[in-house]
Amino acid sequence: MDITTGLVTISLWIMMSGFGIFVSFINILIAREDLTYQIGKTKQHYQRSLVAKVNIANEIMRCVTLLLLFIAGILVASVQFSPDPPPASLYVRGVILLTIAVLVTKSLLYRWLRHKLRSQ
């Protein structure tokens, strides 16, 4: 199989967004556990429950965005695949890959932060 620019960019697009969906889904589950643990606690813990609610909302939005990018990657791969895409297409794919990388990195950082805060 010949590795081409088009194959690499679309493969990265699909794999990164799929990984991001997985991490966001795990973060949603953990934030939900945090929220259920905080229900009925004192005022200080009530503030933590608000943080957990915001985390859930952020992760849901991130998960939906990554899911839409994943679907878009599959559609592009099935309809518009070109071994050597034009420069404008490469630019757009680069921006999409950067967006996915930022979303996945934020999910991983939130996961790391939650782990550090829980372990103290």
- Least Cα distance to 115 among 34, 51, 45 occurs for 34
Q: Give per-residue pLDDT as tens, 27-39.
A: 899 888 888 877 7
Q: Give per-residue pLDDT as tens, 58-88.
A: 889 999 999 999 999 898 888 877 777 788 8
Q: Quick check: 63 and 21 in contact, CB under 8 A?
A: yes
Q: Which domain holds residue 26?
A: 5-119
Q: What pTM was computed for the model?
A: 0.78
Q: Helix H segments across 39-120?
A: 43-79, 87-119
Determine the 3-state secondary structure of 40 from DSSP.
coil
Domain tally, the chain: 1
pLDDT of residue 66: 92
